Amino acid sequence: LSPHVSVIAMPLSCVINETGPNPVVSILWLHGLGADGHDFAPIVPQLVDPAWPAVRFVFPHAPVRPVTINGGMAMRAWYDIRSLSLSERADAEGVRASIADVEALVAAQTADGIPAERIVVAGFSQGGVIALQAALRHRARLLGVIGLSCYLPLTDALAAERSAANANTPILLMHGVDDPVVPLTLGEHARDTLQAWNYRVEWHPYPMQHQVCLAQILDLRRWLGERLMTIVNAEA
């Protein structure tokens, strides 16, 4: 694939990779704590099927902020982590600020001609938390939501604020069974909570830690392909 670099204006600094001219789908992919938008950009050649329509991958850089569990060190983070307990793991103010950032990213895509129903919101770890929190609140239907090695904090607020527009949007959750950073039980809690709310959740555990593996990339490729090929077929 020969990536095309977009010049679309973004509300956050982003790494942007377009798999062809005039993309008709956007995948917004949020990195984990301490990483940046470059972290998942190398996955694109392994992930993309040539049969897919042109896709714009958007990898935003999180703002730099102090992180309590890391001794207050400033780093790229979607929110502060004050404790490892689920009830205090994510600060609500930071989560809401990052939800607003995702809303602005979606708005930038729609302004450039890619509607919400052709946008996937994805994220790893902290980024996966924000992907779930933002996508399930979004007022227009999205193409899909992906949470990798993540968890679901602030469930009471999300339960009250989730949008009916995305009640049937497919959700993909993937997690390492040996994850020492976000234990598998937290991923299972996210899965069980979303299923109890009647979301369409596809769940995949893998024999890995807090990372991404080849089997997972292949499953991601299949899951995304199922969504993207509906667009191809609709336009045929």
Catalytic one of 39, 80, 101, 179: 179
Quickly tell me which residue has 């689920």 as its tokens: 86
Q: Which of 26, 31, 61, 125 is catalytic?
A: 125
3-state secondary structure of 206: strand
210 catalytically annotated: yes
The reply to whether 179 belongs to the active site is yes
The single residue listed with the structure tokens 């227009």 is 140
Classify burial at 155, counting beta carbons within 10 Å of its beta carbon; exposed 0-12, middle 13-18, buried 19 or more.
middle
Please name which of 172, 209, 206 lies closest in space to residue 190, comparing C-alpha atoms: 172
Comparing C-alpha atoms, which of 49, 106, 108, 27 is closest to residue 232? Answer: 49
Report the alpha-carbon distance of residue 215 to residue 176 in Å, rounded: 12
Judged on CB neighbours under 10 Å (0-12, 13-18, 19+), 2 is: exposed
- The one catalytic residue in 163, 189, 210, 219 is 210
125 counts as catalytic: yes
Residues forming the active site: 125, 179, 210
